[in-house]
Amino acid sequence: MKVTSYIASMVITLLCVVLVAYPALALDNLNRRSLFDRPAPSETQGKPASAKPVAETDAQTQQKQITSKEVPIPKLRPKQELAPEIADEFKQATQMEVKEYLRRYGVPDTKKDYKVSPMDVIGVTVFDEPDLSRENLRVSSQGRISLPLLGELKVEGLSPRKIEQLIQIRYRQEQILKHPQVSVQVNEFKGQRVLVLGAVNNPGGHTKEGNERLAEMLAKAGGIKFDADGDVAANKIRILRTVEVPGKPKQRISMEIDLDSLTRGDHPEYNMPMLNGDVIYVPEAARFFVTGEVKTPGYYKIKDRSISVVEAITMAGGLTRIAAGNRTKLVRYQDGKEVTIEVPVDDILDGDKSKDITVRPNDVIVVPQSYF
């Protein structure tokens, strides 16, 4: 009887020691899942987590609590939307503001500076000589046209003004007209194209006609795409252009235009005339993902200014009542690897803003649930 009482007292004493040393085991549900880290492969396959013996270490207990409840972290890896060679051209081009470009090179008059291309249709008027005039001449694939008494003329790559001078010279050389007066106009622009890529409904090469501007070329490409939330899927436009200056080598210029400013008309110069060979790239808006214990988890855009982690959480409606703000994690893909950064949100909200960090495109912010 004494032995039984002694054993019972020892068991009670041992239980008291366990409860004092490991209160989390007594107060927390071992099967409750948390909002951290990815589940182990066995968990993703739906296997129930087996209970551990009571006498496990603090590290084992904390690890189980961290991994026992999971919010899926989406893989927001950067997407390669451009062909590598075009992406390289954008990188190697000289970056220039639109105002600086216009100051250096002016606004191109594409009708005046236009170079005739194969399949274009031009009109040739010889004053007081209706029999020698032609309203619609299709430029052949070899870049030639045919005129009465002159035969074939090579016009590809010439401006309308240069073609006028060529025809006048030929009529004088052939002694057909002493003082010919010739006018040339382009009726159909078929040989010039602009490449429109990115977040548009009909990407690809599109024919440029006359003085068509940026907005008109975007319309030809079907307009800007909308995302799943019904918002415009982009917030900027990039233009790659070849600039030719007499006596100097060709130069590649890259310009960036704010889409909102273009659509609002705040900067009329943004809606510039397009040139043959231009590349218009509409990158999808940079975005990040907020998940876990926030009121409205989901995708959010990075627009025209930098956003901190706390601001990102505010955009997602703020923390819930059971959020563990100081255990917030930011998952970032850097140099092809996944990097996890701890962000003590509660400390930042208490005034220590030095611990806040700037969100980058494709970051994932995970706010876990409090243990209690």
> pLDDT (tens digit, 0 to 9) for every residue of the chain, 372 residues total?
555 666 666 666 666 655 555 444 444 444 433 333 344 444 444 444 443 444 444 444 444 443 334 555 666 555 556 788 888 999 999 999 999 999 998 887 655 667 888 889 999 999 999 999 999 999 999 999 999 999 999 999 898 999 999 999 999 999 999 899 999 998 888 878 899 999 999 999 998 877 789 999 999 999 998 877 677 778 889 999 999 877 888 899 999 999 888 988 889 999 999 988 999 999 888 889 999 999 999 888 887 778 999 999 999 999 999 999 999 999 998 887 889 999 999 999 999 999 999 999 889 999 999 876
**Spatial distance between the Cα atoms of 331 and 354, rounded to a whole number of angstroms:** 19
Candidates 3.30.70.990, 3.10.560.10, 3.30.70.1150, 3.10.620.30; CATH matching 84-109+192-282: 3.10.560.10
Q: Can you give the pLDDT at residue 31?
A: 44
- Please give the DSSP secondary-structure letter assigned to residue 128: T
Q: What is the CATH number of domain 287-367?
A: 3.10.560.10
Predicted model pTM = 0.62
Q: Which of 70, 77, 74, 75 is nearest to 40 (CA)?
A: 70
Angle at 301 between CA 290 and CA 197, to 5 degrees: 130
Q: Can you give the pLDDT at residue 371?
A: 76
Tokens standing for residue 251: 């130069």
Whether 287-367 and 84-109+192-282 are alike in CATH topology: the answer is yes
Segments making up each domain of the chain, as ranges: 2-67, 84-109+192-282, 115-188, 287-367
Q: Can you give the pLDDT at residue 55?
A: 42
Q: Can you give the pLDDT at residue 344?
A: 94
Q: Which of 296, 358, 333 is nearest to 76 (CA)?
A: 333
Q: Are residues 117 and 192 in contact, defined by beta-carbon separation less than 8 angstroms?
A: yes
Report the relative pairing of strands 94-95 and 251-258 from DSSP bridges.
Answer: parallel
Q: What is the CATH number of domain 115-188?
A: 3.30.1950.10
Q: Which of 136, 182, 128, 131 is nearest to 160 (CA)?
A: 182
Cα 148 → chain centroid: 53
